[in-house]
């Protein structure tokens, strides 16, 4: 089989890494680059790393033409833009993987509040499947429209869900201290991401008010089957790529052990090819350019002298998760979803 | 007045920045570089930035000679090494500012447990003053031996103590998610700090078992007057300099307001020249090469939809603190302590 | 004396570093921030590092008001903009230091060709003095209008001129392989300087066609008294600050020795407080945040086995120069010029 | 076919990238990790990115055992160490690709002078083939011992040789201004490569006295058939990976055109899958993690006003080459050589 792939919005970073992966995919190829730009004679003018490897011209976002050329369309567009095109592409017979936020929140009213824009494609929203393969693989296989998860929510859900499923931690009071490399902010030049501003810098942003907080809660609530609350606090890291999340949770009771926490992760991901659960603490460097999410967990006293008997001091569970925000956090996961949708091994073309 | 300064251990990063500050200090000068090395013909061979600015030879660590040449000795040595020299320098009549950990923990038995080495100078330990000027300025003025605080503990104590003093937050369950630039790891080359390992990388280390956790608890307990528990989780940041701490606390009760939190900080630091309390979120870039610690605070629900009414979801206080780990976190604070000890304005030579 | 300084264009990087220096200058202070912006309530909103240190509002670029408040105006504007204001500020009685390129090239016709814009202030152009203190200190002292040199041309002229003056190298065939940190590209966000594009990247730009090539040739021709040709090839370095130039020249004849080359530099800069001539190879790290230009020189065979007798292979002179592009390459040099213009020691406020 | 690969010295950076490539090679696999270490229970302890992907134990450097398990041995050892093992591995029947410098210089006496150590395997030195596939593919195919070129020499030879072959440039007076990321310095922690020393830094080293100068001259002399002289000046770049060389040459005569220069490159590399000759100036970012060498060339006047008629000013050829020092400069080229040696398409497993 050779899945024919269209990429809508080919000059974004998610498109860059998507094309990069698809160039080496054994059963897929890029056949159409659909752009809003007036002229894009060669994608390699935009991304010179593609010289001699992928020198295609951009073409109009014409659903019929795309459907004639491709089996699946990846939407690498900003939110709001995605929902302008998704219905037309679906109507034209394409399967669609949307890398924007437009189909992630299931509740249109909530989408409107969180994103400040009424949802314009409620019908498809109802049918969209949240593309986190570790938990929703069966639905993804049959989906026509997959909402590819956000970068932060992927690392958060993978690090928290197994502990909630086993009721090893409380579903409230969860704190996600998150950090992301600058590609996460997109490719448009803006003051905070100008090199001399972002380099040798580090700062939080949007503490407790970031849109991904809602997406994370929705995912965990779906998996757990009851409400979950997380406080999400992102920071901008002076690197190109990588997300690390340090997640603080309360153990469900005094009897929880670190071994049980690890067992929950090992069991949850026994069949998951891209989650590595290990004792060693994750580092974004070790998942760079890969589709892995690395996870470690610790059960410690929330204070007291290191190594001493700190009985009486409450304990905390700390989960550390690391991923490449551009791969498992975006384009790699999108390919993993495509693989599932088209009956391939979910690891095809990924590493 | 011209304070004559000796620096013991002049080839460390703390010495580098200490010399840098003292070169521009209006009332102090470096008069003696005391080294364990066999030969150090010129400190500018070690730090070429000192060419034409500070070209001094290293001399033996001879207490009598140092006392003849200097009024104060800064110990820029590793722990355990410091306590070999501090008593002799004090006996020789010098006032001593120790940048190592040797005189920070007041309890010798605890020092032995935490640092894995029996304390060998218990007499001076009892008299040492913890050099955090924002809280202990009066004791510092009269001290002969000042234990300069750790880099992480400085940013932690400044960000937490005012809220504890006003009983606005609970003294337990405090989580300090901390990050530091690589100078914090010292100047000796080691594998994790080799450029290709540390660059474009980010990872936690020693979660809940770092020695600074004990120092932070001691400082807060001293200020609060009752036990305080913090969970301290450091991370290595791929920058030269800077510490950012994201600190999560539980409000003491439901009535606490963000305005009260700010009021506590503003009042606590009304006379503190190097603490800036602001609404804007701190960035390590804005304190680089300065003695400032920047602080912001937020009171948010620990979950829920951003901007919505999330009544019923517990609230969290988040304090963000930023400092230059080499300045306010080490050498700048040491000079601030020296200024106090010698009756100068505490801002002399600092910015 | 307290020189009152106005800064026109206060939101640029050159303004940032200029204010930073002037805040610690013993005999100068910033009294007026003149901006084209409609509103600039507080410069610390733009540069949060100035909180508690310099919280001034921007005011209109009103020559009379500026002249009432200040003795000297620093123009931190783009080229073309500078020459709109310089004549009015001069007419109002101010002395002016222009950090743009508008008054650097002495020939108005050449300015028009190189910058693509007719010069609109030919009268003042004729009277402007090129502000390279190591060579033109006497003229600078009496100047009303100083053209502050470009960042690259400063490091180039300092590294080449002494060898030309002694006729130790040929005035043609000079190659300047130059590199600059990203602040050199200004503060406006643009695609090539977006963090994920510039980080972990390195590339040449404008080889042999950069405007600074003309400025360098003019300076060297002025000093030498006869034509000089240089090929200037800049590269963008993934750091905040710093310029390193590796300059290749042909020795004038076979008798030239490395000792003579060093002697030329030592003699030329015997009285220059900010040039350090050393055997050790320069590093941008060692001049960061300082007004120094570091210089080293080597006389080597242009090929052959290292260490062998390579007689018969032509020799090359290699000069390496390093400076902080924001300090000696811009704002530090501007203050050095101000010091000269107002009769201060040229090192005042600089390090 | 499945080529069985042994890696001798598996904890180096060249081994890291070699394993990374071989993990995705369609016709090769790693079967033996041979180490001098007493214990290496799992290569993934050393390189955690290999968890779940390559968890092999290190084994002794036992030629017979290696020969039983592998068809080819890659030597990822320092120079001098390589020649201890190469003869034994060859004798055991293995084909050998040496990534060290031990078999690159054909003249044993020169090796001794340049590397300060007598060559101990002169017999095999005579038979070794220099593994630059773009010029020596035929010899490589039949070689038992391939000397994998140095990182700098690869980018230099590819950028210069075609112009020499066509006699478009003079064979003397060639200047190679080179820069390399820090992985080029190896994996052992040393002071200059400690993160806080190398980060935000840039400096030259070993100008005109680097060992690669000799290797470059040898390669060019071999290809040209007559002596060639180059002056090689490397610099340390604060990035993980990437080499950029800015090469200055004299055109052979006044009639040379830029079109002819490009034609020489296009013709030389018409069949070379990993050399991209383009008008756009290379950037190390665009070759990162790929086996490409990007080349651009310019013919400019060595001075004069940009864009003006600068007749009378001599012209210079500038060649810019970029590669990933770890891939085309080391491990990727080693695999390219392996592919040739075993009759595969030379692009197998590479991108």
Could you report the per-residue pLDDT of B186-212, keeping only the tens digit for each?
999 999 999 999 999 999 999 999 999
Total-model pTM: 0.98
B196 in C contact zone (CB under 8 Å)? no
Query: Which chain C residues touch B239 with a CB distance below 8 Å?
Result: none
A205 in C contact zone (CB under 8 Å)? no
Q: Which of B204, B184, B214 is nearest to B114 (CA)?
A: B214
Is C120's pLDDT higher than 90? yes
**How near does any CA of chain B get to the CA of C101, in Å?**
29
Which DSSP string corresponds to C109-133? HHHHHHHSS--S-HHHHHH-EE--H
The pLDDT of residue C167: 98
Decide if C135 is inside a domain. no
Residues B22 and B162 in one domain: no
Residues B110 and B167 in one domain: no
Is C182's pLDDT higher than 90? yes
Question: How many C-beta atoms surround the C-beta of residue A73 within 10 A?
Answer: 28
The pLDDT of residue C236: 98
C276-328 confidence digits (pLDDT tens): 999 999 999 999 999 999 999 999 999 999 888 898 999 999 999 999 999 99
| Pair C129, C143: CB distance under 8 Å | yes
Cβ separation of D240 and B181 shorter than 8 Å?
A: no
Smallest Cβ distance to D196: which of B182, B191, B200? B182
D24 in A contact zone (CB under 8 Å)? yes
CA distance D112 to A197: 49
B247 in A contact zone (CB under 8 Å)? no
Residues C198 and C118 in one domain: no
Positive or negative: CA dihedral B219, B223, B227, B229: negative
Contact map slice: D 274-313 vs C, CB within 8 A: 281-285, 288, 298, 300-308, 313
Instruction: Order across the sheet with D174-180: list the strands.
Output: D203-204, D230-236, D174-180, D243-249, D315-323, D293-301, D275-277
Query: A288: nearest CA in chain D?
Result: D49
Question: How many C-beta atoms surround the C-beta of residue D131 within 10 A?
Answer: 29
Decide if D217 is inside a domain. yes
The pLDDT of residue C122: 97
Query: C240: nearest CA in chain B?
Result: B285
Decide if D145 is inside a domain. no
**How near does any CA of chain D get to the CA of A174, in Å?**
28
Residues C53 and C110 in one domain: yes
Cβ separation of A199 and C240 shorter than 8 Å?
A: yes
CA distance B58 to A122: 75
Cβ separation of D51 and A290 shorter than 8 Å?
A: no
Decide if C348 is inside a domain. no
The pLDDT of residue C307: 81
Q: Tell me whether residue C54 is one of the annotated catalytic residues.
A: no
Mean pLDDT of B322-349: 98
Decide if C143 is inside a domain. no
Smallest Cβ distance to C286: which of B48, B278, B287? B48
Query: How far is CA D22 from each of CA A345, D15, D241, D326, rounded to the nearest angstrom?
Result: 21, 10, 19, 14
Could you tell me where the DSSP H helices lie in A102-254? Answer: 108-115, 122-127, 133-142, 151-165, 195-198, 211-224
Mean pLDDT of B213-219: 98
Query: Which chain A residues touch B194 with a CB distance below 8 Å?
Result: none
Residue bearing tokens 């948010």: B300
Residues A161 and A292 in one domain: yes
Cβ separation of A193 and C195 shorter than 8 Å?
A: yes
Which helix (H) or strand (E) element contains residue C259?
helix C258-268
Assign residue D206 a region (left: φ > 0; alpha: ψ between -120 and 50; beta: otherwise). Answer: left
Select from A81, A110, A127 the last residue of a domain: A127
Residues B107 and B168 in one domain: no
Is C1's pLDDT higher than 80? no
The pLDDT of residue D15: 98
The pLDDT of residue B307: 81
- Residues of chain D below pLDDT 70: none
Query: Which chain C residues touch B292 with a CB distance below 8 Å?
Result: 52
Residue bearing tokens 């990727």: D332
Residues A202 and A287 in one domain: yes
| Crossing angle of helices D212-224 and D151-165, rounded to 10° | 30
Domain hosting D35: range is 3-127
CA distance C349 to C25: 4
**How near does any CA of chain A get to the CA of D126, in Å?**
37
Smallest Cβ distance to D298: which of C201, C207, C306? C207
Counting one residue from chain B and one from chain C, the pairs whose CB atoms sit within 8 A come to: 39
Mean pLDDT of B289-303: 98
Interface probe, candidates B187, B194, B239, B241, chain D, greatest D C-beta count within 10 A: B194
Q: Which CATH number belongs to the domain containing residue C37 in this structure?
A: 3.40.50.720
Query: C211: nearest CA in chain D?
Result: D306
**Angle value at C-alpha A260, between A257 and A266, nearest 5 degrees:** 145
Decide if C31 is inside a domain. yes
CA distance A210 to C121: 52
Cβ separation of C281 and D211 shorter than 8 Å?
A: no
Smallest Cβ distance to B208: which of A202, A213, A300? A300
Question: How many C-beta atoms surround the C-beta of residue B126 within 10 A?
Answer: 11
Question: How many C-beta atoms surround the C-beta of residue B230 within 10 A?
Answer: 28
The subunits that touch chain B, with at least 3 C-beta pairs less than 8 Å apart, are A, C, D
Q: Which residues pair with B62 in a beta bridge?
A: none
Number of residues assigned to chain D: 351
**How near does any CA of chain A get to the CA of C218, in Å?**
31
The pLDDT of residue A185: 97
The pLDDT of residue A306: 86
Cβ separation of B210 and A282 shorter than 8 Å?
A: no
Which helix (H) or strand (E) element contains residue D68?
helix D63-69
Q: Which of D131, D147, D199 is nearest to D339 (CA)?
A: D131
The subunits that touch chain A, with at least 3 C-beta pairs less than 8 Å apart, are B, C, D
C351 in A contact zone (CB under 8 Å)? no
The pLDDT of residue C306: 86
Residues A104 and A238 in one domain: no
3-state SS class at B274: coil
Give every CB contact of residue B158 below 8 A, 6+ residues apart in sequence. B132, B134, B275, B293, B295, B321
Query: C16: nearest CA in chain B?
Result: B286
First-to-last C-alpha distance (Å) of chain B:
20
Smallest Cβ distance to B276: which of C52, C290, C294? C52
Give every CB contact of residue C230 below 8 A, 6+ residues apart in sequence. C156, C160, C174, C175, C176, C213, C216, C217, C220, D302, D303
Catalytic one of A5, A54, A76, A151: A151
CA distance B336 to B133: 7
Interface probe, candidates C184, C189, C195, C238, chain A, greatest A C-beta count within 10 A: C195
D126-155 confidence digits (pLDDT tens): 999 999 999 999 999 999 999 999 999 999
Cβ separation of C242 and D202 shorter than 8 Å?
A: yes
Domain count of chain C?
2
Residues A25 and A100 in one domain: yes
Residues A319 and A266 in one domain: yes
The pLDDT of residue A236: 98
Residue B127 tokens read as 């008299």
Give every CB contact of residue B182 below 8 A, 6+ residues apart in sequence. B193, B198, B236, B237, B238, B239, B240, D195, D196, D199
The pLDDT of residue D309: 87
First-to-last C-alpha distance (Å) of chain A:
20
Q: Which of B224, B229, B221 is nearest to B176 (CA)?
A: B229
Residue D293 tokens read as 């060498």
Residues C287 and C201 in one domain: yes
The pLDDT of residue B90: 98
Smallest Cβ distance to A214: which of B241, B283, B306? B306
Residues A25 and A90 in one domain: yes
C248 in D contact zone (CB under 8 Å)? yes
Question: What burial class does residue B145 get, using C-beta atoms within 10 Å of its C-beta: 0-12 exposed, 13-18 middle, 19+ buried?
Answer: buried
Cβ separation of A303 and B231 shorter than 8 Å?
A: yes
Mean pLDDT of C147-171: 98
Residue A203 tokens read as 């700062």
Tell me how far the alpha carbon of residue A39 is from its chain's centroid: 30
- Residues of chain A below pLDDT 70: none
- Please state, rounded to an integer, the average pLDDT across all residues of chain C: 97
Decide if A36 is inside a domain. yes
CA distance A46 to A187: 11
Q: Which CATH number belongs to the domain containing residue D315 in this structure?
A: 3.30.360.10
Counting one residue from chain A and one from chain D, the pairs whose CB atoms sit within 8 A come to: 39
Cβ separation of C174 and D313 shorter than 8 Å?
A: no
Decide if A332 is inside a domain. no
The pLDDT of residue B141: 98
The pLDDT of residue D332: 98
B64 half-sphere exposure, CB direction, 13 A CA radius? 0
What is the ipTM score, two decimals?
Answer: 0.97
CA distance A104 to A86: 13
Query: Which chain D residues touch C205 with a CB distance below 8 Å?
Result: 281
Catalytic residues of B: 151
Positive or negative: CA dihedral C271, C275, C277, C280: positive
The subunits that touch chain C, with at least 3 C-beta pairs less than 8 Å apart, are A, B, D
The pLDDT of residue D306: 85
Question: How many C-beta atoms surround the C-beta of residue C186 within 10 A?
Answer: 15
Smallest Cβ distance to A200: which of D200, D278, D287? D200
Cβ separation of B48 and C280 shorter than 8 Å?
A: yes
Give every CB contact of residue D169 below 8 A, 6+ residues apart in sequence. D160, D163, D249, D250, D251, D252, D256, D317
């Amino acid at each position: 089989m050779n899945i024919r792939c269209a990429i809508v919005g080919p000059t974004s970073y998610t498109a860059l890494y998507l094309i990069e992966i698809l160039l080496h995919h054994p059963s897929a190829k890029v056949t159409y680059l659909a752009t809003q730009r007036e002229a894009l004679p060669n994608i390699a003018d935009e991304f010179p790393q593609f010289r001699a490897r992928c020198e295609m011209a951009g073409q109009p976002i014409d659903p019929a033409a795309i459907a004639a050329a491709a089996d699946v369309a990846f939407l690498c567009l900003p939110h709001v833009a995605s929902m302008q095109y998704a219905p037309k592409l679906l109507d034209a017979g394409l399967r669609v993987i949307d890398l924007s936020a437009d189909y992630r929140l299931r509740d249109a009213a909530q989408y409107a509040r969180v994103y400040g824009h009424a949802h314009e494609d409620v019908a498809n929203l109802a049918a969209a499947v949240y593309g986190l393969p570790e938990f929703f693989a069966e639905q993804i296989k049959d989906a026509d429209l997959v909402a590819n998860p956000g970068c932060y929510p992927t690392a958060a859900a993978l690090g928290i869900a197994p502990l909630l499923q086993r009721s090893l931690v409380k579903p409230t009071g969860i704190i996600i201290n998150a950090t992301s490399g600058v590609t996460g902010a997109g490719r448009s030049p803006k003051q905070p991401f100008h090199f001399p501003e972002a380099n040798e810098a580090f700062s939080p942003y949007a503490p407790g008010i970031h849109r991904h907080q809602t997406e994370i809660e929705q995912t965990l609530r779906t998996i757990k089957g009851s409400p979950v609350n997380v406080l999400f606090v992102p920071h901008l890291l002076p690197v190109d790529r990588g997300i690390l999340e340090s997640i603080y949770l309360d153990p469900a009771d005094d009897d929880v052990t670190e071994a049980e926490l690890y067992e929950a992760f090992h069991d949850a991901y026994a069949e998951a090819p891209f989650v590595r659960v290990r004792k060693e603490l994750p580092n974004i460097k070790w998942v760079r350019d890969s589709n892995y999410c690395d996870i470690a967990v610790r059960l410690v006293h929330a204070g007291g002298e290191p190594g001493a008997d700190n009985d009486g001091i409450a304990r905390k569970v700390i989960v550390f998760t690391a991923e490449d925000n551009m791969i498992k956090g975006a384009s790699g996961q999108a390919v993993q979803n495509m693989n599932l949708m088209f009956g391939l091994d979910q690891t095809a073309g990924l590493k």
